Amino acid sequence: MAFHHIPVLLAEVLDALAPRAGGVFADGTLGGGGHSEEILRRIGDTGVLYGIDRDPAAIAAAAARLGSYPGFRAVHGNFHDVKALLPGVRLNGGLLDLGVSSHQLDTPERGFSYHEDAPLDMRMDTTGGVTAAEYLNTVSEKEFCRVLREYGEEKWAARIAQILMEKRAQRPLATTADLVAVVDAAIPKAVRRKDDGHPARRTFQAVRIAVNDELAPLEQALRDWVDMLLPGGRLAVITFHSVEDRIVKLTFRKLQNPCTCPPKAPICTCGKKPLGRAVGGAVKAGAEELTQNPRAHSATLRVFEKKAEDT
């Protein structure tokens, strides 16, 4: 299957980053390269765009698609490690389009989708790490319950975790159908019928986040990306569920107001200065985009601008 990507909130991202000739940008979640290509078109032959992705398939596809742009630099790695991947680089703008890509969802053998029966993998970087099958067959009931509640906001977390223990005691889970069966056995049929969407979607989301360690390093990663921005540079972040969005919103708030002094203190004594400001609030896709790309329905864009003086 060809690696494809319908860039979500493209016009809004371009408006926020305002890429111009000669600029230096980084796309930390390259995917199919849709956002990156539009940035490359605007920065011209004198600009540079670093496209980072942990998925080797994305890197290979983007290299083929964007290789004709002289400023494109493909980088295999995790955007959480941006400072190690791009040492000494200063950016006019950065983009993070979080979550799973359309290609990953639509490639059954990757194991991200609950609609297809496939091996339980879910790794964004297929060159290493623990697969979803390995995770599900070794995780404790208590830890899995926590992951379902925190990463999937699943009300039936305790019951699903209990059923997982029972099912894997009979035989190890191996396919996505096995995980769907766990959810089906845990959630009453009457509740499943009333669910707005597939009942397994929250569990799959939680497992994917756990397997790829998506959330724990996110706040520090956002801080690192802001630190790499030039004065006046902007970081645009697109999230697809409330857990991610909450981390981004709160991190931007801390960067804008890092002071830790008591609220009623007459003067600031902690010495922590604002690094910039959040630009606007949460931006959602419009009706026209939702018609063309239903997956944009859960997308939320937030933007942070670094202060003009880089001190």
18/310 Cα distance (integer angstroms): 20
The residue behind tokens 């959040």 is: 278
Residue 74 parent element (H or E) = strand 72-76
Q: How many CB atoms lie within 10 A of CB 62?
A: 25
Question: How high is the pLDDT of residue 131?
Answer: 97
pLDDT of residue 62 exceeding 80, the answer is yes
Residue 210 parent element (H or E) = helix 201-212
- Same fold across 10-99+215-306 and 114-212: no
Q: How many CA atoms lie within 13 A of 184 on its CB side?
A: 7
Question: How high is the pLDDT of residue 208?
Answer: 95
Tens digit of each residue's pLDDT (9 = 90 or more) over 82-140:
999 999 999 999 999 997 776 677 677 888 888 889 999 999 998 899 999 999 999 99
Copy the structure tokens of residue 259.
Answer: 């002071």
Q: What is the domain class of 114-212 according to CATH? A: mainly alpha
Asked whether the beta carbons of 198 and 271 are under 8 A apart, the reply is: no
Residue type, position 159, single letter: R
Q: How many CB atoms lie within 10 A of CB 282?
A: 12
Q: Is residue 175 classed as helix, strand or coil in its secondary structure?
A: strand
- Cα dihedral across residues 20, 25, 27, 33: positive or negative: positive
pLDDT of residue 152 exceeding 70, the answer is yes
Question: How high is the pLDDT of residue 311?
Answer: 47
pTM of structure = 0.90
Q: Per-residue confidence at 176, pLDDT binned at 50, 70, 90?
A: very high
93/234 Cα distance (integer angstroms): 5
Domain 10-99+215-306 sits in CATH at: 3.40.50.150
Exposure string of 103-128, with b = 16+ CB inside 10 Å and e = fewer, is: bbbebeebbbbbebebebbbbbeeee
Domain ranges of the chain: 10-99+215-306, 114-212
Q: Per-residue confidence at 1, pLDDT binned at 50, 70, 90?
A: very low
